[in-house]
Copies of this chain bind each other. A is one copy, B any other.
Amino acid sequence: MAKGQPAYIPDDGLTTRQRRNRPLVMVNTGDGKGKSTSAFGLALRSWNQGWSVAVFQFVKSAKWRLGEQTAMETLAELHEADGTGGPIEWHKMGSGWSWSRKASTEEDHAAQALDGWREIQRRLAAEQHRLYVLDEMTYPIEWGWIDIDEVVETLANRPGNQHVMITGRRAHPKLIEAADLVTEMKKVKHPMDVGQKGQRGIEW
């Protein structure tokens, strides 16, 4: 989709190419399936461009390794081996972020989430990656662990050409307001409704 003509041409002094290549803040929200899956699909496209990609998983259990992580890490190794592209980093909050040596307990999830966000802020300031997937970061925002105004300000002032994709239900209205592209994944029908639990290859 979205390969056609835009609805109108803004009077912003930019060329079509300049306007086209503006970095995006994207949000996948809603109660349906596909929010994270399509964010990781987007990371595939970035890999193909040779971009440096970082995924931060804020909620899913560290014990629960997604097929996507294995696949993306495998692809990243190929790029590293032949020098044709940037790395793909995959960080999970589950039992403490990988860059942190702090012991983790149930109680300090809020502190951990904030640690993750601080790291993302540092990387954005340093223009470390071309795509950031902030998977399920809507929840620590919802719970007040990460301040929404700070998120909006950091995104608005990020330098260079860095795309950011944030996923999770109930995206904050200020986040939606700040985003360039927002999709709501709406559940029409789910096997769980008729008693079928998630299965491997489909849910993970």
Interface residues of A (CB under 8 A from B): 1-10, 12, 16, 19-22, 24, 26-42, 44-49, 51, 64, 66-68, 70-72, 74-75, 78, 130-131, 163, 176, 179-204
Of chain B, the residue at the smallest CB distance from A163 is B202
Residue of A44, A180, A197 with most chain B CB atoms under a 10 A cut-off: A44
Of chain B, the residue at the smallest CB distance from A68 is B44
Known: A20-B196, A42-B202, A48-B67. 16 other contacts (CB 8 A): A8-B195, A19-B197, A26-B202, A34-B185, A37-B45, A38-B38, A38-B41, A44-B68, A45-B68, A48-B70, A48-B71, A176-B188, A176-B189, A180-B194, A182-B187, A183-B185
Interface pairs (14), CB distance under 8 Å? A3-B203, A4-B192, A6-B192, A7-B195, A10-B194, A16-B197, A30-B186, A32-B184, A33-B181, A34-B34, A46-B67, A48-B201, A176-B189, A184-B186
A201 engages B40 (CB within 8 Å): no
Given contacts A49-B67, A201-B49, contact A184 B191 (CB under 8 A): no
Given contacts A67-B49, A203-B3, contact A180 B188 (CB under 8 A): no
